[in-house]
Amino acid sequence: MRRDQLEPDRRRSARVDPGADRGRSGGVLFDAVLLDRDGTLVEDVPYNGEPEKVRPMPGAREALDRLRAAGLRLGVVTNQSGLARGCFTAGQMGRVHARIEELLGPFDTWQVCPHDDGAGCGCRKPAPGLVRAAAADLGTTPGRCVVVGDIGRDMTAALAAGASGVLVPTPVTRAEEVAAAPHTAPTLPAAVAEILRRQAAVVPAVPGTAGTVLVVRSDSAGDVLVTGPGIRAVAAHARRVVLLCGPRGRAAAGLLPGVDEVVEWPLEWIDPNPAPVDPQRIGRLVRRLAAVGADEAVIFTSFHQSPLPLALLLRLAGVPRIAAISDDYPGSLLDVRHRVPSGVPEPERALSLAAAAGHALPTDDEPRLRLRRDTVPAAPSQLGPPGYVVVHPGSSASARACPPELAARIVRVLADAGHRVVVTGGPGERELTARVAAAGGTDLGGRTGLAELAGIIADAGALVVGNTGPAHLAAALGTPVVSLFAPTVPFGQWGPYRVPTVRLGDADAPCRDTRSAGCPVAGHPCLAGVDPAAVLDAVRLLGVPTSGAARAGADGVVGADDMGGGPPALAVPAGRGSGR
Ligand SMILES: [Zn+2]
């Protein structure tokens, strides 16, 4: 069991080379930006072996210099199958790279896949090998890297490594690649501006300290889990943290580090099945909030939720300082009114609110989801050694659930390929899990609370799941995710955060951005069309062996040549020193 995933995160100093923490100069979120070469840094000239044909993309030099000035290291991650095909020599490529550095400035690492598709290597994008190797070479982890590229395989490689990704489309980028990307930017300079904006947004302008802070995140388990980094940022500067959550988020609240006390209360303006507003109940809530004795409140919300009704109650309860994200005019209800553009990952959205309130994550706390070590029990021994694949077919919202017959076919394909499959689900999903597990898995439906489910996911090689709470549990445990993601909400905002992930499903289905809880389209086409063989490929891309042997570290540093047993990548120094 990877108990280290549950600890206050010392992994960077423990697993990465001892000098790694010196490298954390870029900021809270990212150490490095890894760029695709052709079509991203320079114009795509197929199989170019001639330095004089190198043409930088517009604004590239200035954009890269902004990143360098901000303390971010730069790397290039590029497929050059022209080497394998004999279109140019390594020497010619070296001269091309020297020319690129002459025009665009130095890069701190060059990672080149010299193979073609037939080689079965672990480095050719969409495999994550180049991203992992670049991160290792820079003394950091993929989670602290952003990959910028122009096609879908750049984004797939980024996500499969656990890195962030920004797609800068060109005229040759396919529409479905644009739809599936976690983030897009119109140009390289715009991508750079967004990376720097995200980096700056989690750093307080004026750092503060606080006594008792009431933090709020209503709604379901996933919502509470993705708020974890923001709550830890508050907790780092507070004497005491009290979390107000709803009944559907109560179990997740108990797993979060930094929370001293939990107050459970359904909020009528958040709950999906709200009770009528009862003045007496509201009165009791105000008295309960007053009893917390908070010096400050930070109301975390999703982008479609309003913090203002609660802010009013907190004012009535006498809370002197209230911070929240609100596009709606707050009048005197908020002391810190924060605003966030859409599409920002939820954990970063929460971190940016904490920062606006004066609280940043300490430098030794990675901005990833995390659980309290003492709350996660061991997986049941009947499951055998770590490395099984968990399939979780249900969801808190049916629009985001995997169709049962597809889940069953996925279980069968995985089992036939030699994976040990475990099927999980909540108490109300026993019938569903029994049906799905009958295709070849162990049925644990209804037999786990959230903490027990976390224990099972902690030992999994991968989790196959829709956009629902357990996906965020996996992110917190460092377990790779095959995300069957219904596009009702943005993937970049709600996808598994900073954990190796493969996204499947039609990103451009008609349900896109509808925020529907129930699928608004007959036949649930966004997920019904997923090919179970693609799930098997995804599990392979994430490095899960079929033998049941423990896999390599999830988001630790794994050399490119550890993947898939294929030939190793080239780490090619550019013509003149590349700063390595
Ligand atoms: Zn390769």
Averaged pLDDT score across all residues of the chain: 89
pLDDT digits (tens, 9 = 90+) for 547-578: 644 444 433 333 333 334 445 566 544 433 33
Active-site pick, 38, 108, 137, 223? 38
**Which SS3 state, helix, strand or coil, does residue 573 take?**
coil
Instruction: Mark whether 17 is an active-site residue.
Output: no
Dist CA 255 CA 369 (whole Å): 11
CA of 96 to the centre of ligand 1 (A): 19
Dist CA 192 CA 198 (whole Å): 10
Give pLDDT, residue 322: 98
Active-site pick, 21, 31, 36, 117? 36
The sheet with strand 389-392 has its strands ordered as: 442-443, 421-423, 389-392, 462-466, 481-484, 501-504
How confident is the model over 397-408, as a mean pLDDT? Answer: 85
CA of 462 to the centre of ligand 1 (A): 23
pLDDT digits (tens, 9 = 90+) for 143-169: 999 999 999 999 999 999 999 999 999
pLDDT digits (tens, 9 = 90+) for 111-142: 999 999 888 899 999 999 999 999 999 999 99
CA of 83 to the centre of ligand 1 (A): 11
CA of 569 to the centre of ligand 1 (A): 5
CA of 467 to the centre of ligand 1 (A): 31
Q: Are 306 and 269 in contact (CB under 8 A)?
A: yes
Give pLDDT, residue 495: 96
pLDDT digits (tens, 9 = 90+) for 506-555: 888 878 888 777 777 777 778 888 999 999 999 999 999 986 444 444 33
Strand partners, 75: 34, 109
Q: Which two tokens stand for residue 431?
A: 């019938």
Helices 346-356 and 188-201: crossing angle, nearest 10°?
50
Dist CA 90 CA 77 (whole Å): 16
CA of 277 to the centre of ligand 1 (A): 60
The sheet with strand 145-149 has its strands ordered as: 109-113, 73-79, 32-35, 145-149, 164-167
Give pLDDT, residue 568: 52
CA of 495 to the centre of ligand 1 (A): 27
H or E stretch covering 134? helix 129-137
Dist CA 61 CA 404 (whole Å): 50
Give pLDDT, residue 321: 97
Q: DSSP code of 535?
A: H
CA of 491 to the centre of ligand 1 (A): 28
Q: DSSP readout, 325-351?
A: E-SS--TTS-SEEE---TT--HHHHHH
pLDDT digits (tens, 9 = 90+) for 38-93: 999 999 999 999 999 999 999 999 999 999 999 999 999 999 999 999 999 999 99
In this prediction the pTM is 0.89
Residues with CB under 5 A from ligand 1 (ion): 113, 115, 121, 123-124
Instruction: Mark whether 36 is an active-site residue.
Output: yes
Strand partners, 481: 463, 501
Is the predicted pLDDT of residue 8 greater than 80, yes or no? no
CA of 134 to the centre of ligand 1 (A): 13
